[in-house]
């Protein structure tokens, strides 16, 4: 079979004829209806899927056998079919329909004999934002389906470049997408998060989360590093908010890549409100929160039957005040999960003891969870600050207070061993902008 010329058809409000009433004809009818066509089905009987289309008014059914004359007559006086599908299972009927289509210059796709068709229906992998990849198997439908499925998986997981290189017609304002990157392992980034990264024009990122994925970005993506470290915030939050709005207002798709979940002590709500206040469309892609996943990596479930069925999450940035406030309405024995605040750990532990927690309450501090640098120190409220200082643990860290910490002694680390990241070997592929702060 000679090489075919691939083309996409706009079937909106076009007349399409489907000959046949079986499952193959139903698939062809469904696809053309979805493409906006006016579809007529000619068949003595129809399968359940086609009957549903008829009942819904999506297709017109002519309940009889078809002939080549139906193709030549067209959908009405002076009109012609834009496309004909024939899938009767009767080779003589399919051949007659295809021959008539050829005589009146109409494309015809034969389901029984692709090489005898003037048109061929490929296997199609669909991605976000209108992306379609059509696959021809060279006359082998099984091969086409296998290749389609492989491409579809790459599209679904954001492994293929999906970023627009040409502005959408009529579009002025872009959008901001708040993507939760999870605790650090790129494997914990959601499929939706990867898709948006593959479509991004600008990625605003910091030191938390799966920074390794920046090496997978399209080279044309602008990467804005707004990283903060403990006690050192070179780019304040109001400037980050302004960066998001200014890029989106220029028509760009902006992904704000954040560690954990954007709405769990991640200031994602502030960024979303700022975008909405400035008329910028904003979406959120939840992430795997470090509040649960990092303790899990260290073999500590935050709830466990027979120990506790609830946990309290709070920031420890300013000591134990937020945790104590939240714990007042929690059941006795609830696990306390504290984010941030490693530098104030001694003060937090002392405040918890002063509030009535026994000094012997088990405590674990997990540093750099789900990365190659993950380390865990276990102690009690009376000893944990000194234990952490002796071990030299560094931020970011999650602190767990409660009897569930004891399960680590049996379970040990449950996160896979990750190779250390070498920024020199895996730099961001996009254009990294460091001091790019709008004034």
Token duo for residue 156:
């679904």
How far, in Å, are 121, 171, 184, 194, 262 from residue 200 at the CA level? 31, 16, 20, 10, 17
Bridging pattern class, strands 397-401 and 362-367: antiparallel
Strand extents, DSSP E, 186-233: 202-205, 222-225
Reported as type and span, the H/E element at residue 179 is strand 175-180
84: left (phi over 0), alpha (psi -120 to 50) or beta: beta
In whole angstroms, what is the distance from residue 141 CA to residue 271 CA? 48
Which residues are part of the catalytic machinery?
A: 206, 228
Among candidate residues 420, 255, 261, 241, the one with its CA nearest the CA of residue 339 = 261
Bridging pattern class, strands 362-367 and 375-380: antiparallel
Bridging pattern class, strands 202-205 and 362-367: unpaired
Token duo for residue 71:
């193709």
- What's the chain's Rg over C-alpha atoms? 30
How many other C-beta atoms lie within 10 A of the C-beta of residue 69? 10
Token duo for residue 37:
């066509």
Residues facing residue 399 across a β-bridge: 338, 365
40, 108 Cβ separation under 8 angstroms: no
Token duo for residue 417:
């061993």
In whole angstroms, what is the distance from residue 32 CA to residue 63 CA? 20
Task: Return the exposure string of 1-25: e unless at least 16 CB atoms fall within 10 Å of the residue's CB, then b.
Answer: eeeeeeeeeebeebbbbbbbbbebb
In whole angstroms, what is the distance from residue 267 CA to residue 149 CA? 38
Residue 91 φ/ψ, nearest 5 degrees: -60, -35
In whole angstroms, what is the distance from residue 265 CA to residue 339 CA? 8
């Amino acid at each position: 079979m000679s090489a075919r010329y691939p083309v996409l058809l706009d079937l909106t409000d076009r007349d399409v004829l489907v000959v046949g009433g079986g499952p193959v004809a139903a698939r062809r009818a469904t696809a053309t209806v979805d493409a906006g066509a006016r579809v007529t089905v000619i068949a003595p009987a129809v399968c359940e899927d086609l009957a549903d289309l008829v009942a819904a008014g999506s297709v017109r059914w002519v309940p009889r056998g078809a002939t080549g004359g139906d193709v030549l007559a067209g959908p009405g006086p002076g009109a012609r079919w834009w496309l004909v599908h024939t899938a009767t299972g009767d080779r003589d009927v399919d051949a007659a329909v295809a021959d008539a289509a050829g005589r009146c210059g109409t494309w015809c796709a034969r389901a029984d004999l692709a090489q005898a068709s003037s048109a061929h229906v490929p296997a199609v992998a669909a991605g976000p934002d209108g992306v379609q990849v059509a696959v021809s198997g060279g006359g082998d439908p099984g091969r086409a389906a296998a290749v389609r499925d492989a491409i579809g998986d790459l599209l679904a997981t954001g492994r293929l470049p999906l970023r627009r290189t040409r502005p959408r017609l009529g579009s002025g304002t872009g959008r901001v997408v708040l993507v939760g990157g999870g605790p650090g392992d790129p494997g914990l980034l959601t499929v939706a998060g990867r898709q948006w990264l593959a479509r991004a024009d600008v990625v605003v990122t910091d030191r938390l989360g799966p920074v390794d994925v920046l090496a997978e970005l399209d080279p044309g993506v602008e990467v804005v590093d707004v990283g903060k470290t403990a006690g050192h915030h070179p780019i304040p939050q109001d400037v980050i908010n302004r960066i998001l709005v200014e890029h989106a207002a220029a028509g760009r798709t902006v992904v704000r890549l954040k560690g954990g979940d954007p709405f769990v002590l991640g200031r994602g709500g502030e960024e979303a409100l700022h975008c909405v206040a400035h008329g910028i469309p904003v979406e959120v892609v939840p992430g795997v929160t470090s509040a649960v996943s990092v303790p899990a990596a260290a073999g500590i479930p935050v709830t466990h039957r027979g120990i506790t069925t609830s946990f309290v999450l709070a920031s420890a940035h300013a000591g134990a005040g937020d945790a104590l406030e939240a714990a007042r309405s929690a059941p006795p024995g609830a696990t306390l999960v504290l984010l941030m605040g490693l530098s104030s750990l001694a003060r937090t532990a002392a405040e918890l003891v002063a509030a009535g927690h026994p000094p012997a309450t088990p405590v674990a501090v997990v540093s750099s969870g789900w990365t190659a640098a993950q380390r865990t120190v276990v102690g009690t409220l009376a000893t944990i600050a000194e234990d952490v200082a002796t071990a030299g643990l560094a931020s970011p860290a999650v602190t767990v207070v409660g009897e569930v910490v004891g399960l680590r002694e049996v379970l040990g680390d449950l996160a896979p061993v990750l190779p250390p990241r070498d920024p020199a070997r895996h730099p961001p592929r996009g254009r990294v902008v460091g001091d790019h702060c709008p004034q």
